[in-house]
Amino acid sequence: MKDDIDKINEQIDRIMSSSEKREDMIKAVDDSVGGDTKRIDQIQDLEEESEEVSEPTKKMDVVEDKEEVIEDVSVPSSGEIDDTISREIKNDISHSNRRNTIIIIVLVFFAVLIATLLYLYFQGKQKHEEEPVAVNYKSVLKRYGDALTGIVAVYYDKKEIILTYEEASELVMFDYDVDCMDHVINEDGSVYLNRCTIDGEIVSSSYGKLQEEKPVVIPEGNVKIYVSRSTGVASFEEPENVEKYDVYGIDIDESYQNLSFLDSKDSDYVYYAVTEGYNIFGRMMNYKTGKKALEDVSYQSIIPIQINEGFDTEYAAVRVDNQWGFYDIIHEKMIVKPQYDSVTPSLYYGISGPALTASTLEKHKMPVYLWDGTRSLYGVVDYTSGKYSVPLDCNQMLKSGSYLWCTNADGDGKIYDYSGNTYLEGSYTRIFGIVDGKYVLVQDKQNVKMINLKGSVLYDYGKYSFKRANYFLSYDKGALFQFVNTTLGEDYDYDMDESCIEFIYSSQTKKGEAKTTYCGGIAKPILYLYPEEKTNVTVSFAHPEFLETTYPKFINHWQVTAYPNGDLYDQDGKYYYGLYWDEKKVHTVDFKEGFYVEKEDAISFLEEKLDEIGFSAKEKNEFIMYWLPILEKNGKSLVYFELTEERESVNPIYIYPKPDSLLRVVIHVKKVTSKVKIQEEKLTHFERSGFTAVEWGGTTY
């Protein structure tokens, strides 16, 4: 029994000990990471543990059952113990709840505070979007004006031009849409802006200062030149905003034509042509000073030097006492004394005709011509120094691609580039010529070969001999060289017989061919000129080297005075009804189309077709009188009409002033022995208007 009582006491002590430790337990729970949930779990554990006090009662009941009852022991009842523990636990729970409540209140306070701040932030943002901050338009306009000024300054430094407002505004990248009704970019590059809007809002302020406009002074003179103060470009046409231009006036006291600028921006000179009798001469004048070039020198003509698409602004070609030299415009002195009969002489695929401009081969390299009293001499001179790149000893000089073909009195030739370097010299028995700057015909010992400039053999024709070259040209995307056949003798009629040999090479087939052919060319070409009024006319050809017999004599060009009825007079007053020449046969046709004509129908055929083409009665009569006998003699013929466009592709004609309408016709006639079916050629009708030029000729096969 004593043991039982001891056990009960131990239980009570344990319970009390648990109660004393609750503060430490609660504190440990508070410090734990678990928060309120762990605190509640710990309190529940304490309640469950308190329920164990019912066990002493049960054990005492057991003692009573064993008849060992201790009545005088004073032991607290289970109810008292339960009340005591319950009060303790309730106090602990109440204390914990107060702490939890305070924490919750703090958390709620901070949550409300954060929500309030967020609400105020978004409300403010929305209000800002709905009501944007006011723009400082004066500051924006200043930034825009500064940007414009900077763009103008950069362009002036780099290109020496003052941009217009429109040009400058397109180059400015800006974050506002600025539009100014008043805008001025001054000569010093400063900018003035007024009456502006920024993003559609009217701005009351302005940018920069408005400078006083220079008064427009229109000087005397029959020719006015307007120079833009912003770009420096000159023009003969009066602009709308003339107050932004400097105006100059010059007097040209001669009958002039072709008035042009030497350069509309980089030179103060204009050039023009004047007529004196039957001649046309060039003039130059400084439009700012009104002073003529070479004013103190007696000269016939001064003309600009063409380089590519523009003109040399420092040098010009000058003709003094019928000799050409070169003049420094800037320093007003002669650089190369007058000594040449011609500048820019007729070259193969080159320029010929009236000396209204002088054309270079490349920068500062000018072809020149001189007759020394016994022979023609050609060369290439640097007109800024007078030094020759190609010596003045070529009897003939022809241009081929970027190369020159020069022949001497014996017919031997050399290939030069514009700098004077020679090619293939000494490697072959003879060099016959070059076409397109890449096809060269040579004699290698006894064989005739087509090679390129590197010496590679393109085709070997075998052994041939001949007397002299007739012509050579580009043909079938390759080359054709024609020579007079030596077997026919000196006095042979080369016009109608097989008297020439041709060496042909095709770049498409990579094959060559040698064949005999007619040496005859285009017979009796004649040119009629019909201006609307009396006019001085100059005529030349792209390939004057194709010409043979000419009347009047053709020397670089013809110069005549033409009347509306077609009458022509040369410089000596001699009369001509047309300009006559014959030409080498450099173009043939294959008669895949045309007409079959028998001699009985020749008259009606010619009359009908010439009317269809557009010949006048006089032109038709002269054409028929020459070609009718040939058709009748043939008996049966094939006929093809080569018209203007095709004729211009072979040997363009240069007529100055340029005609308003041009007709060129070459009749090709081939004798046949029997009737031939041929596709009929479609002819176009020529319409005459204004200044009209008509040319006709023909060739036989």
pLDDT digits (tens, 9 = 90+) for 469-509: 777 877 778 888 888 875 544 444 444 445 788 899 999 89
> 52 vs 594, which has greater pLDDT?
594
Q: What is the pLDDT of residue 121?
A: 67
Which range among 113-117, 164-168, 183-187, 295-299 shows the weakest confidence by mean pLDDT? 113-117
> 12 vs 107, which has greater pLDDT?
107
Q: What is the pLDDT of residue 589?
A: 85
Which range among 59-63, 535-539, 594-598, 661-665 shows the weakest confidence by mean pLDDT? 59-63
Token pair, residue 422, equals 């020679």
Q: What is the sign of the dihedral through the CA atoms of 98, 99, 105 and 109?
A: positive
Instruction: Name the pLDDT band for 159 (thresholds 50, 70, 90).
Output: confident
The answer to whether the beta carbons of residues 450 and 441 sit under 8 Å apart is yes
What percent of the chain clears pLDDT 70, i.e. is strictly above it?
79
Please state whether the peptide bond connecting residue 239 to the residue before it is cis, i.e. omega within 30 degrees of 0.
Answer: no
Q: What are phi and psi of 512, to 5 degrees?
A: -120, 170
> Span 624-630, mean pLDDT?
90
Q: What is the pLDDT of residue 44?
A: 44
Average pLDDT, rounded, for the chain: 80
Q: What is the pLDDT of residue 131?
A: 54
Please say if the pLDDT value at position 75 is more than 70: no
Token pair, residue 584, equals 């080498």
Instruction: Name the pLDDT band for 545 (thresholds 50, 70, 90).
Output: confident
User: What whole-number distance in Å separates Cα of residue 19 and Cα of residue 42?
Assistant: 13
pTM for the full predicted model: 0.58
What percent of the chain clears pLDDT 90, i.e. is strictly above it?
40
Partners of residue 422 on adjacent β-strands: 416
Query: pLDDT for 409-459, tens place per residue?
Result: 766 789 999 999 999 988 999 999 999 899 999 999 989 999 999 999 999
Long-range contacts of 38-46 (CB under 8 A, 24+ apart): 39/96, 43/89, 43/92, 43/93, 43/96, 46/18, 46/22, 46/89
Q: What is the pLDDT of residue 347?
A: 62
Q: What is the pLDDT of residue 127?
A: 54
> 349 vs 191, which has greater pLDDT?
191
Task: Convert 13-49 to b/e letters by CB count within 10 Å (16 or more is b).
Answer: eebeebbeebeebbeebeeeeeeeeebeebbeebeee
Domain ranges of the chain: 2-116, 137-203, 293-423, 545-555+578-700
State the DSSP string of 135-157. P-HHHHHHHHHHHHHHHHHHHHH
Q: What is the pLDDT of residue 21?
A: 45
Q: What is the pLDDT of residue 550?
A: 87
> Span 517-541, mean pLDDT?
84
> 385 vs 94, which has greater pLDDT?
385
> Span 525-542, mean pLDDT?
90
Helix (H, G, I), strand (E, B) or coil at 377: strand
Partners of residue 513 on adjacent β-strands: 504
Please say if the pLDDT value at position 669 is more than 90: yes
Q: What is the pLDDT of residue 39?
A: 37
Please say if the pLDDT value at position 299 is more than 50: yes
Instruction: Name the pLDDT band for 89 (thresholds 50, 70, 90).
Output: low
Q: What is the pLDDT of residue 276?
A: 72
Please say if the pLDDT value at position 129 is more than 80: no
Which range among 342-351, 467-476, 564-573, 645-654 shows the weakest confidence by mean pLDDT? 342-351
Q: Which amino acid makes up residue 334?
A: M
Residue with tokens 């009501």: 131
567 by Cβ neighbours in 10 Å (0-12 / 13-18 / 19+) ranks as middle
The answer to whether the beta carbons of residues 389 and 382 sit under 8 Å apart is yes
Give the CA distances from residue 491 to residues 411, 484, 486, 494, in Å, rounded to whole numbers and listed in that order: 20, 12, 11, 9
Partners of residue 427 on adjacent β-strands: none
Q: Return all residues near 370 (Cβ < 8 A) that are at least 6 apart.
A: 339, 340, 341, 376, 377, 392
Which range among 63-72, 227-236, 542-551, 635-644 shows the weakest confidence by mean pLDDT? 63-72
Token pair, residue 495, equals 């016009």
Instruction: Name the pLDDT band for 590 (thresholds 50, 70, 90).
Output: confident
Strands (E), 308-372: 310-320, 323-328, 333-340, 342-343, 358-359, 365-371
